[in-house]
Amino acid sequence: MDPANLTQLLNNNQSALSHEQQHDIEAVYQRLKEIARTQRFKIKGTGINTTALVNEAWLKSQNQNKTFNDRNHFFAYSALAMRHILLNEAKKNQLITYVDNSSFVEQPVFKESNYLLDLEKQLIKLKAFDENLERVFTYKFFGDMEFADIADVMQVSERTVFRNWKKARAMLAVALK
């Protein structure tokens, strides 16, 4: 799949695509499913399934009339979209538990929702400290992007991305304990 053609496909209306173009879009969709499946393993019990997460991220990318510079830019945007979708689901779960009953607090959905909300608070603090650390963590953790792809999106060296990843993980680990 040619990255330039893929970017063009993602930026255009996909209602009149050729068979080959549809195949390329399906490949992107399958990659998003892999990323979402990884999220489901990292963050179990959020109450949203893999397909729903992918579909919401895909719709967000298509409904915003967003144009993408390249494939990596699209996946970086998708990582941010998945982060927000999972956070919104966690907020919804929290609200349901407060309204519903207190016995629900021991359920895995509630615990994972608390974890996501705590992680989000710490990511906001991390962004205030260094926006690049927050971006690297979001792209790697929520988007399962490779360091080289993150470096391309952020226009820095791969070594810098790796250093920022290690630093962000360490800071978040300390903050979340």
For residue 18, report the phi and psi dihedrals to the nearest 5 degrees: -75, 170
Number of domains in the chain: 1
- pLDDT at res. 65: 65
Structure pTM? 0.72
The per-residue pLDDT of the chain, averaged, comes to 79
The pLDDT tens digits for 54-83 are 888 878 777 766 777 778 888 888 888 888
The pLDDT tens digits for 40-49 are 666 655 567 7
Q: Domain range spanning residue 168?
A: 3-176
CA separation, residue 95 to residues 40, 89, 102, 121 (Å): 21, 10, 12, 17
CA separation, residue 77 to residues 49, 57, 149 (Å): 20, 9, 12
54 and 29 in contact (C-beta within 8 Å)? yes
Query: Can you tell me which residue has the tokens 């998003």?
Result: 32
Q: Which DSSP symbol is given to 92? A: H
Residue 14 tokens read as: 């996909």
The pLDDT tens digits for 74-125 are 888 888 888 888 888 877 777 655 555 555 545 555 566 777 888 889 999 9
Query: Can you tell me which residue has the tokens 């260094």?
Result: 130
